[in-house]
A and B are shown apart, each in its own frame.
Chain A
Amino acid sequence: MTTQAKPEEASPAGSGGSAPFLSVRDLSVRFSTEDGVVRAVDNLSFDVAPGTTLGIVGESGSGKSVTNLAVLGLHNPERTEISGSIKLDGRELVGASNRELEQLRGKTMSMIFQDPLTALSPFHTIGKQIGETYRKHTGASKKEARDRAIEMLTKVGIPQPTTRVDDYPHQFSGGMRQRAMIAMSLVCDPKLVIADEPTTALDVTVQAQILDLLKDLQQEMGTAIILITHDLGVVARTAQNIMVMYAGRAIERGTVREVLKTPQHPYTWGLLSSMPSLTGDVNVPLTPVRGTPPSLINLPTGCPFNPRCDFREQVIGGGCTSERPALSPETGHAAACHLKAAQRQDIFIDQIKPRLG
């Protein structure tokens, strides 16, 4: 075991309703591989309040999935080193025993995975898979668990739930499977749901239905949701807050409105430019972020985005290749970039916004 618990005073019990339900501070996750140490997450901090949704956006390998697996404690403890703090309802999860985590997983926090076909067991019925979670955490009988499963299937909008409860995942359509998956993760009324690309594997009409379903359930139960996606459109539709991740760090953070309307970081600009817009000019070509994501074993010096950045010449003193910019300001809409706030505003208004339409 190389997981380190960072010694920290326990938060006072019942420290308040307004406090964030999930609070992550200075989280670092490192894997040791044959090629070297992968710094998958580096000094990450964020909060999620009850009843709100945080969208975490970034390319593959930006650390967004790793962060959430660390929250659930699903990383491989043999090869992963975690430091920092993850507090769930005031309870420290870093260094918590497997047993403690088992009690929390599925009950207080749960996860919705990307591809429900592979994420659901092909060997057990939908009802069993939903009911099992319920029985584990509530000690319900088989009968009760089955009734609960039917109730949950009804809730997520599965027609004829009393018969479908005995079906196997392969007998469901893609969208239905994802509904079942959601039913499974919500069966114990968790306070935190982490949805990892929940709609990526689905077609567009079904995507919207699933997102609406999540939103409805959140309103009904007051769940905190972390929505991991690379699709800013999904975030815009569902989340209140956004965190953009790049190379294991948050590089921009703010409310949906702040980040989407006045993005501050050149990488966010890139993400927005690569996204088609219904209202935009069809003649303006989409411009994806050039280059490829950096290796997490061998990060570029300075700002990890600098090799792909079009604006690093404009930084006075050229700090981009020497110094890693911190996320600032401490609270509110913040970005990690050496460009001065005024510069960013000018560039966005003059060069980026026209492209977005």
Chain B
Amino acid sequence: MLRFLVRRSLGALVILVIVSMVTYALFFAIPADPARLYCGKTCSPENLALIKHAMGFDQSTPVQYWHWLSGIFTGQIIDGKNCAAPCFGYSFAKQEMVGGILLDRFPTTLSLTIGSAIIFLIFGIGTGMLAAHKQGKAVDKIASSASLLASSMQIYVAGPLALWALVYSTDLMKQPAYVPFTEDPIGSITGMLVPWIVLSLIWTANYTRMTRSSMVEQLSEDYVRTARAKGMSGSSVFLRYAWRGAMGTIVTVFGIDLGVLLGGAIITETTFSLHGLGELAIHSFRDSDLSLLVGVTMVAATLIVAFNIVVDAAYALIDPRIRLA
């Protein structure tokens, strides 16, 4: 296991370096000139040169990339401002250090993602198992059709609807906002309730269907029949055998879905006016804000790579047939 973690972590580093290089390369492939964006209305060539120099755009792309990469380990001075290691650069559009911005925004996205993931895992898996247990009965049919309906919903439709119904027109719930748990434990939950509900509603549906189908599949496996032939009780067959088998599929899909959720933060955060990484991604693209764009991309890439390692490790714990090396 340790060897696996070390090997995969090294691999992840390589992937991250490649991701950052590609982001740099793609950014400079777009002909838009960010320096001119900041230059204002009466942009004299002198002003433009000044800005280009401050932003480092007067250097070649590889040199800029090298400054960025080495800055992570050694820190750097950008436009007269000291950026201590690990330095992720300076956002000229936001006039703040990228590291600070990311640190500020990350908890929002994390709360959004993890909070709704907990809800949809509990309800999705619960309902799915119930449906699998009561296969063919009313509960199963209701759960299946409800989840089909819910999973065909989209966040940009369901979100505004929920906001209208729960917040705007009735004032039943709070306008979505992230509050740190340490500042206000109750507020940190109530503030995120509407996005959590909407996100988990859609995802619960997926997990209900997935859990049901993999449980049904597992229940027809030979070894489940063996367990019953040994005299194992219904609940133990269901949980210790069938669920154990279904867990592998669910964990794998969940690993992928965490990435999807993270990517979906762009839409989710826009829908709910939340200030997380998704919103940053939009801003950084809109403002051609290279340092921020790279920063957001790297955080997202790091998370996705980390999720993958965790999922692979978890999968190996669940299924002893998978060897980690």
Q: Which residues of A are at the interface with B, using a C-beta cutoff of 8 A?
A: 72, 74, 78, 98, 101-107, 110-111, 113, 115, 118-124, 132-133, 136-137, 168, 170, 184-185
Contact = CB atoms under 8 A, between A and B. Distances in A.
Interface in B94-150: 136
B232 A122 contact: no
Contacts of B223: 118-122
A310 to B, nearest CB: 38
Contacts of B245: 121-123
Given A118-B222, A122-B321, A168-B321, A102 B233 contact: yes
A107 B229 CA distance: 10
Contacts of B321: 122, 168, 170
B320 A184 contact: no
A119 B225 contact: yes
Given A121-B241, A122-B320, A168-B321, A106 B231 contact: yes
B318 interface: yes
B228 interface: yes
Contacts of A185: 230
A136 B230 contact: yes
Contact of B229 (A105, A124, A137, A170): A105
Interface of B is mostly: helix
Nearest to B227: A121
B132 to A, nearest CB: 14
A123 B246 CA distance: 11
Interface string B235-265: 0000011001100000000000000000000
B226 interface: yes
A342 B318 CA distance: 64
A170 B231 contact: no
Contacts of A104: 231
Nearest to A187: B230
Contacts of B227: 121
A104 B230 CA distance: 9
Contacts of B231: 101-107, 133, 136-137
Contacts of A111: 226, 229
A101 B241 CA distance: 19
Nearest to B220: A76
